[in-house]
Amino acid sequence: MKIASIIGARPQFIKASPVSAKINSTSSITEVIIHTGQHYEENMSDIFFDEMRIPKPKYNLNINQMKYGPMVNKMSNEICALLLKEDVNGVLVYGDTNSTLAGSLSAKKLDVPLFHVEAGLRSFDRSMHEENNRIITDHLSSLLFCPSSNAVKNLKEENLKNGLILSGDVMYDVYKKFSSYKANMIEDFKAPAYILSTIHRRENINTFEKLLAIFESLNKINNELKIIMPLHPHTKQKMEKHKIESSINFIEPQGYLSMLSLLKDSEMVITDSGGLQKESYFARKKCIVVRDRTEWIELMDQGTNMTCKPENIYKTFSEISKKESNFSKNLYGNGKASTRIVESIINFLS
């Protein structure tokens, strides 16, 4: 049996790590990795394959820096050709990126079973490409691997019950494996006490007013508690375009181990990233989410995370700083999601 794993963005490299490792230790199934090239810079792509020991992709499509529709269309056409060439038995996709949607459409065009890791997430904001990507993918999938009970609930409400599996979260598998590793090179960046922040979502950086409000708030917080931000290339580009200045400590985008090191020693997280929201919970850090809505509803319910608009970041920072938070609840499984996923795929294809 052979499956194609479609990946293209930083979070997907992380999620694929334990699943690919499990596939490679199993004799009854093989994997061909197709990298769409959606994230192409070395510190947004290559470093993850190296330090997390992910097998190098057999194919890299180098498709990036395109608008949503043309990008998905080009990816899908090229993935289809490779699926036919490799004669795969199934297609595995992760999360909610353009690469995810392209892989899903390709599988359906060829009537190949589709397996979705991180199924069932909903922010209920259809203005986001990611929300539409995950909904379409879920409705095309043969197996739906849910990271949380809330994800299962969402799919049942959409009448998606066949192939529904509460697998737990593969990102928790990765965190458990790598959280004890040391990334000494990051020590030079750290302050005695600091907040870790990342900002990159298009709804935050493509609007001058929002981007300005974010960094005005972060500058204000930085006067009280230092902020370290690995600066995403797109965010950097927009800041330079609009001549937005900031007093916070910018560093280059980091690999997974360095980010974990920064996270574990931080006081708090301010982000618009989906993955870092969860990783902050794994590391028992409070998290401000600079978005109107989030797909990780259970973290909001738990009270460890708070969403806010760009202009309300400082106010939310003041509120969450005083708040007691409980990180004891096991929301994302036991760290063995990858085993459940691979065993389920083998059983399905058998």
Task: Lay out the sheet containing 249-251: strands in order across.
Answer: 249-251, 226-230, 194-198, 268-271, 287-289, 305-307
- Other Cβ atoms within 10 Å of 165 Cβ, number: 17
Burial class (CB in 10 A: 0-12, 13-18, 19+), 262: buried
Tokens (6 digits) for 206 = 């493509």
Output the CA angle 41-47-51, nearest 5 degrees: 170
Catalytic residue positions? 200
Give the number of C-alpha atoms closer than 13 A to the C-alpha of residue 45, restricted to the C-beta side.
17
- Alpha carbon separation from 305 to 215, 276, 278, 285 (Å, rounded): 20, 11, 9, 9
> In angstroms, what is the C-alpha Rg of the chain?
20
The two counts, helices (H) then strands (E), for the chain are 15, 13
Provide the 10 A C-beta neighbour count for residue 209: 10
Q: What are phi and psi of 192, to 5 degrees?
A: -55, -35
Please report where in the chains the tokens 């510190």 appear, as a residue. 43
According to DSSP, the residues that pair with 146 across neighbouring strands are 166
Residues ≥6 apart with Cβ < 8 Å to 341: 19, 22, 115, 117, 145, 165, 167, 170
Task: Give SS3 for 258.
Answer: helix
CB within 8 Å of 10: residues ≥ 6 apart: 39, 44, 45, 48
Amino acid of residue 312: N
